[in-house]
Amino acid sequence: GAGVSQSPSNKVTEKGKDVELRCDPISGHTALYWYRQSLGQGLEFLIYFQGNSAPDKSGLPSDRFSAERTGGSVSTLTIQRTQQEDSAVYLCASSLDPHLYFGPGTRLTVT
Amino acid sequence: TQLLEQSPQFLSIQEGENLTVYCNSSSVFSSLQWYRQEPGEGPVLLVTVVTGGEVKKLKRLTFQFGDARKDSSLHITAAQPGDTGLYLCAGARSDSWGKFQFGAGTQVVVTP
């Protein structure tokens, strides 16, 4: 069956522009996670959704970051006024149980 | 500061050798997972351990969860080039259900 998909796979943007990253979870998975992975670093937790609500937003680095999930399915992570330190791979994962299924990630480069 | 500390950061060995990767924390976890990540892909789950002292074997991989549920180890016997990858541990605490915290990872390179 289909796994978690993310789009775009690569995004290059200029500093100050807004970007939207999309995640399509595995059908039926109620939980959805966003992580950020910088070069040489582990995964940094950003936010997770249970259904359409986000019980824990504590990982969002600043108020430039926001995320939403609609219909208990697709999620978008929006970064406003991007900065160079936002450059990283943004990973999405979905889960029905404690097993996280990750997508391939979106590589964001801010120039 | 990482909640989960992994060591070593990098490990390069020859095919056929054994290796052990460690994951340590001062926090108690209700469950701990190990993932392997290859370049350009997301991490893939290898195992979940939930009971203190638990040992799980997956072919040549042996996972152990510490008695106090604060640490874990991954041992690979007779490593093969296909074992090359970034090994990540992730823990979930009972007071923050759903929030999996990851270690920085151990990059393992197995050369033929």
Q: Which of A30, A41, A43 to mutate to test the interface with B (most CBs of B within 10 A)?
A: A43
Report the pLDDT averaged over residues B83-100.
85
Closest Cα in chain B to A54? B98
Q: What confidence tens digit (pLDDT) does each residue in B9-48 have? A: 999 999 999 999 999 999 899 889 999 999 889 999 999 9
Find the CB nearest A48 among B43, B98, B104: B98
Q: Which residues of B touch A101 (CB under 8 A)?
A: 45
Q: Which residues of chain A have pLDDT under 70?
A: 1, 40
Say how far apart CA A15 and CA A13 lie, in whole Å. 7
Closest Cα in chain B to A97? B98
Kindly tell me if the per-residue pLDDT of B67 is higher than 70. Answer: yes
pLDDT of the residue at B107 = 95
Interchain proximity B43–A102, CB inside 8 Å: yes
Q: Which residues of A touch B41 (CB under 8 A)?
A: 102, 104-105
Residue B100's pLDDT band, with cuts at 50, 70 and 90, is: confident
φ and ψ at residue A70, rounded to 5 degrees: -120, 140
Residue B105's pLDDT band, with cuts at 50, 70 and 90, is: very high
Task: Please state whether beta strands A106-110 and A10-13 pair in parallel, antiparallel, or not at all (unpaired).
Answer: parallel
Strands, DSSP E only, in B1-105? 5-7, 10-14, 19-24, 31-37, 44-49, 55-58, 61-65, 71-76, 85-92, 100-102
